[in-house]
Each structure stands twice: as structure tokens, then as C-alpha cells.
A = this chain, B = another copy of it.
Amino acid sequence: MDACIDIGGTKVAVSLSSGSGLALFARRSEPTARTGASDALARQIVRLVEEACAEIGVAPQTVQRAGVSSAGPFVMRDGLIELAAPNICGGIAGPERGLPNDWITAPLEAPLRERFAKVRIENDCVAALEAERRWGALRGYDHCAYVTWSTGIGVGLCVDGRLLHGKNGNAGHAGHMFVSDNDDALCGCGNVGDVEALVAGNAIERRFGVDAATVLQRARAGDAPAETVVAGLCRVMGRALYNLTATLDLQRISLGGSVFTNNSEFLLPRLQHEVSSRFPALTAGCELVAAGLGERVGDYAALALLANGADAPAGPKG
């Protein structure tokens, strides 16, 4: 069995895979560890894998391969990946951001390599993009992106048929772009007014005093103040999607994440308008769609990192 691990800003999920096919077993999910020592998250993952093994009666030592799809960004320490994720590490933005720790980074690859023989860690949206290109809405597209609109905002990018990694595997952190002049929303990364600070799930609650699901439900029901809030969110997110299209000449963008997925029919035309109403020579032929893997994209993302290793794209750690 292989371990498929999905690390988000809110939850950590672990599943087991038999190494063939798309079936995942013994899925376990918990709030992401954010208290105690900075290796709490790595220890949580190892414990969840052991618990999953116990649940289906597999000897833990038979699980020696771990595919890890994780919120980023990554930093390298002695050639091994640590997380510098703003929704996990409270030390990045400081106490004002309200996370219950002062971690600057959270060790990940080093502790996991003590437990597993093979570890492949990719940014969650790079991994999700790989899953969407294998099994989902991006099959056959060489110039495409996967965007998650969730606790945070993440992006995986593919241009000319190749996943983009960048110098530390952090390509795709476009949620930390600036697209407007708003200067009163603090992002977990320390930026003021970046895309994630304005429209991410946790930002909506901080800025408007109402959770994302509720404000979207109200907007769909025709509540005018909620419609105004959602129009503002779509303007910011739409500009981010347009910026990606103008920068990378994309054909298709697949969207997922908890904020988007439950409201995709409501949000898609509004976001598509923000893209298509700009510079036709750049935006014509760029289509926004809901992720083909839906709510399971996170689970399949980790699986994609282990599936068909031979034709998997090389990550920063190969």
C-alpha cells in the first residue's frame, strides 16, 4: 500500500492506495496540527497513516511510499522541503494573524523520510493539476491551470505541455499576486491586500464577518448586500485568472476548492466574464471550467504523484 497525503491550511487527509487504479482506502481527516513544536504536522501525518493501516488491518511497515500534496510555499533546508505556508505557520505574519503558533517553517520532508522509503512532495495545486490532466477536466490541454478557491488560493500551472516548478517548486503561488489597491486586508504571508487576503475562505470571514458559504448562499438567493460582496470577490478572483491568462497564454483553467465547488454554476459565468471582457487576442479561447474531479481532487492529487511514476513529471525532488 501507498500513503496519499493531502495537507491543507484547514485539514490534513490521509488515504491508502493499493498502487493500482483510483481506489483510496481508509481515508482519515483531521484539522491541520498547528500547536506545539513545529514538527507537529509531520508527526500527525505519521500517526494518521498508522491509524489508517490499523483500520484495514495492513501492517504499517508495508507502507513505504508517500505522495504528499501540500499547501505551500516550500523552502529548502539542507536540500529538504519545509513548509512556509501562511495558513499553517503563525510566525510568518506574526501574532496579528491569530494562528496558535510562531513557526516560521514546518519541517516536512526530513521527518517523513525517517518513516517512508520514498517521499514525493509537491505543491497541492501542482499535484491537483497533474490529477486533473490525468483524470479530470484538463485531459488533452497543454496550456492550462488548476486554481483552488478554498481556505487559501492556490494555482498549478502547465505551459507547452509541462508542469511549471520554478527554483524551489513554488511556481503557482499566484494567490499572493496583487491585483488591486486594497490596503486593509492582511494575508497570512504578511502581504496586505493580495488576492488571498481579499477573497480566500478565511479572508471572507475576516473581512465581512460572515463565512463564505453563507454569503454565497445569500447572493444566490438574491440578497443585494451579499450580491455586492460576491461581485467584489469575483472582480478580484477574475482579475487574478485574467492575469494568469495574459501572462501564460492559457487554453483552460479548472477551478476547485471549497468556496468554489459548492457554487460553481453561480461563480463560473461571473469569473469567465472578468477574463473574456479583456484583450481578446490574449483571452479568446481561454475557458474556465469546474474541476473534473470535483471535491475529490485533493485526494487524487496525492495519488497522481505516485501513479505511473515513469511518466510523472519531475518535481524539484524528482
Contact = CB atoms under 8 A, between A and B. Distances in A.
B248 A279 contact: no
A247 B281 contact: no
A236 B282 CA distance: 21
Interface string A214-256: 0000000000000000000000000100111011111100000
A84 B281 contact: yes
* Identical chains in the assembly: 2
A166 B249 contact: yes
Contacts of A170: 249, 281-282
A94 interface: no
B160 A164 contact: yes
Interface residues of A, number: 49
B247 A173 contact: yes
Interface in A150-203: 155, 157, 159-160, 162, 164-174, 176-182, 189-191
Contacts of A165: 159-160, 249
A275 to B, nearest CB: 12
A176 B245 CA distance: 10
B177 A282 contact: no
B164 A248 contact: yes
A interface majority secondary structure: loop
A184 to B, nearest CB: 13
A134 to B, nearest CB: 20
Nearest to A163: B160
A178 B176 contact: no
A9 interface: no
A248 B174 CA distance: 8
Contacts of A278: 176, 189-191
A247 B162 contact: no
Given A160-B165, A165-B249, A174-B246, 5 more contacts: A160-B164, A168-B285, A170-B281, A173-B249, A181-B182
Closest 3 CB pairs of A and B: A166-B249, A84-B281, A170-B249
